[in-house]
Copies of this chain bind each other. A is one copy, B any other.
Amino acid sequence: MKIAILTIGNELMSGRTADTNSSFIAREANLQGWSVEAMLSVEDNFASIKSRLNYLLGLADVVICTGGLGPTADDITTEAIAQAFGLPLYTDEKVLNHIKEIFIKFNLTWIENNTKQAMFPQGAEVIANPVGTAAGFALHIFGKWIFVIPGVPRETQKMFPEGVIPILRREFPENEQYIAKQTIKTFGLGEGAVDKTLADVDFAALGVNIGFYPIFPENHLVLVSRQTTKEAAEEKLKLACDEVTARLNKYIFSYGEKTLEEIVADLLKEKQLTIAVAESCTGGLITDRLTDVAGSSEYLERSVVTYSNAAKVSLLNVPAAIIEKHGAVSEETARLMAEGVRKMAGTDLGLSSTGIAGPSGGSEAKPTGTVYLALSDTAQTICRHYAYRWDRKRNKLIFSQAALLLLKNYLEGKDKP
């Protein structure tokens, strides 16, 4: 079954508001196994709404419209659709009473305009709005289905899954399919290289769709299998996952939706380990990411951003002579920073970063993008050295990624000195 999405509103066409409803509806529809044929935005204008709706009805079995259901004069979606099909409007007393109750509850002033929100084209099936005054409706006409729901994202996000999908499931039962889905997250290979590595895999023959989602510095793959039985969907998905794993194994850091910081947080909590961080070039970003996870105070004791050499010496006990001899950006300094912060904080682990984010500060021996990362426990200190070539902000981000990955690999027993 094919779906088209029509988002309606002048605020969309002026760029004043970004349309988030289309991607929400598309995501939900895809999960149901329905494909989205087109997503179109149009201004609040009778002729435009009618003409765009006609175009979409030619492309799809179902058109989902959002927006233009408010009480004000520029909200004309219901009337435009009724006009398009020559349908009279009727007032739904139940909806009208619901709106009046909301006005009384919130002590709002009733304006006669509001009765507009209880009017629907003849033959429409009302879709209740649990979070606002604007009810939606479904219209079955000329063999096609038109759905109209409000454009307020909070309301769309309630009414599409709870109001629209059940009607579509009822009306298109033959499209019931079993879906198996797997997200695979990689780091360390560019999008083009990931694609090339998988070029010889015939995903279509495996009965699986693959999507590539580059989210710097990660590349995510999503595999989706739609089959007539749950077992077949899962089996085909597993075969495709195995193919991807065989080719990208060393770059895959996660199967699933969790972020790298969430994975690290789970591991730290599971192993009941505490950590302290000493950052230089990452400027607090490693700690910022660790503390993006709720409950991070369970494992993060403290961090220091020792930007100056004096801070590395006085806070972390890195001998000034070591910095003098090897440089602040060196394996020696990184190791001593990790050890120093662990001892100072009294934690199980110490993690450190020192490098050159750029744009200046690089040299021939240590160019911009150089980073040393170290991880210390009571028995050992691991140090890794990388050279990246991005701009300042992306260097910081990729440094923090490599640091969290070092931590993850250590916690999984995969990284040893």
Residues of A at the B interface (CB closer than 8 Å) are 10-20, 22-30, 35-42, 48, 52, 55, 70-74, 105-109, 111, 113-114, 190-193, 195-196, 199, 211-213, 222, 277, 279, 282-288, 290-292, 294-297, 300-308, 310-311, 315, 345, 357-360, 389, 392-393, 396
Contacts of A12 in B (CB 8 A): 23, 26, 39
What chain B residues lie within 8 Å of A108 (beta carbons)?
190
How far is it, in angstroms, between the C-alpha of A65 and the C-alpha of B414 when the chains are bound? 45
What is the bound-complex CA distance between A401 and B18, given in angstroms? 23
Contact at A393–B15, with CB atoms within 8 Å? no
- Can you report 20 residue pairs joining A to B where beta carbons are below 8 Å apart? A11-B213, A13-B36, A15-B26, A16-B212, A38-B42, A71-B192, A105-B389, A106-B389, A113-B196, A114-B192, A284-B284, A284-B303, A288-B396, A291-B396, A301-B311, A302-B305, A302-B306, A303-B304, A303-B307, A311-B345
Q: Is the CB of A308 within 8 A of B302?
A: yes
Is the CB–CB distance between B279 and A302 below 8 Å?
Answer: no
Q: How many angstroms from the CA of A61 to the CA of B111 in the assembled complex?
A: 42
Minimum Cβ distance to chain B for residue A115 (Å):
12
Tell me whether A292 and B396 are in contact (CB under 8 A).
yes
**Are B38 and A41 interface neighbours, CB within 8 A?**
yes
In contact, B211 and A10 (Cβ under 8 angstroms): yes
Chain B: minimal CB distance from A66 (Å): 14
Residues of B within 8 A of A105 (CB): 389
Contact A22 B41 (CB under 8 A): yes
* Contact (Cβ within 8 A) A30 B15: yes
Between A26, A285, A315, the greatest number of chain B beta carbons within 10 A of the residue's beta carbon is seen for A26
When C-beta atoms are compared, the residue in chain B nearest to A307 turns out to be: B300
Contact of A40 among B39, B277, B393 (CB under 8 A): B39
**Contact A16 B284, beta carbon cutoff 8 Å:** no
Identify which of B15, B37, B286 contacts A284 (C-beta below 8 A): B286
Q: Please, how many angstroms separate the alpha-carbon atoms of A284 and B11 in the complex?
A: 32
Supposing A10-B211, A301-B310 touch, asked if A292 and B15 sit within 8 A by C-beta, the answer is no
Contacts A283-B291, A304-B315 known; 17 new A-B pairs at CB < 8 A: A14-B30, A15-B22, A17-B23, A17-B213, A55-B55, A74-B212, A282-B288, A283-B284, A288-B288, A291-B396, A294-B358, A294-B359, A294-B360, A301-B308, A302-B304, A302-B306, A302-B311
Give CA–CA (A292, B282) in the complex, Å. Answer: 9
Give the contacting residue for A222; candidates B16, B22, B305; CB below 8 A.
B16
- Which of A23, A109, A290 is packed against the most chain B CB atoms within 10 Å? A23
Task: Kindly report which residue of chain B lies nearest to residue A224, judged by CB atoms.
Answer: B14
> Are B72 and A191 in contact, with the CB atoms below 8 A?
yes
Say yes or no: B302 contacts A195, CB within 8 Å.
no
Q: Which 6 A-B pairs have the closest CB atoms?
A: A283-B291, A15-B27, A284-B284, A15-B26, A284-B287, A302-B311
